[in-house]
């Protein structure tokens, strides 16, 4: 990852267990360096007297595909000129 690229931290947990083990988990979202994909990272570390173990899972989705999916499946709101808000029903398409 580019050090100048900032991530949006979606979740950050630190848990200390009674047996002196420490678990750290962070889930973050960022725009890929090429600006064509969103990257979701799920990183965990476990510290214990036996040592350190860590795992990082990376999920990538093309930005154009995600926006298309949102437009097809997402609920939208329509704001009229008078300032009233009316919700449109969510399409009942399968989530593929």
- Return the percent helix, strand and coil in the chain, to nearest 5: 10, 50, 40
Shortest CA distance to 38 belongs to which of 11, 8, 13?
A: 8
Using pLDDT thresholds of 50, 70 and 90, give the confidence band for residue 89.
Answer: low
What do you get for the CA distance between the two ends of the chain, in Å? 29
Q: Is CATH 1.10.357 the right assignment for the domain spanning 8-73? A: no
Please check the confidence at residue 25 and state whether its pLDDT lies above 50. yes
Please check the confidence at residue 28 and state whether its pLDDT lies above 80. yes
The more confidently predicted of residues 9 and 17 is 9
Shortest CA distance to 91 belongs to which of 77, 71, 64, 61?
A: 71
Q: Are 32 and 60 in contact, with CB atoms under 8 Å apart?
A: yes
Please report the pLDDT score of residue 1 as a whole number: 45
Q: Rounded to whole angstroms, how far apart are CA atoms 52 and 94? A: 42
Please report the pLDDT score of residue 66 as a whole number: 92
Tell me the Cα Rg of the chain: 20
- The size of the chain, in residues, is 96
Instruction: Summarize pLDDT for 34-82 with one digit per residue, the tens.
Output: 999 999 999 999 998 889 999 999 999 999 999 999 999 988 778 777 6
Domain edges within the chain: 8-73
């Amino acid at each position: 990852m580019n050090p100048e690229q900032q991530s949006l931290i979606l979740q950050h947990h630190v848990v200390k267990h009674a047996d002196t083990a420490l678990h750290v988990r962070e889930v973050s979202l960022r725009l890929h360096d090429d600006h064509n994909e969103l990257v979701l990272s799920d990183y965990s570390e476990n510290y214990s007297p036996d040592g350190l173990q860590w795992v990082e899972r990376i999920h990538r989705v093309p930005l154009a595909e995600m926006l298309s999916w949102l437009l097809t499946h997402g609920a939208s709101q329509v704001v009229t000129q008078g300032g009233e808000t009316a919700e449109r029903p969510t399409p009942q398409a399968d989530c593929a």
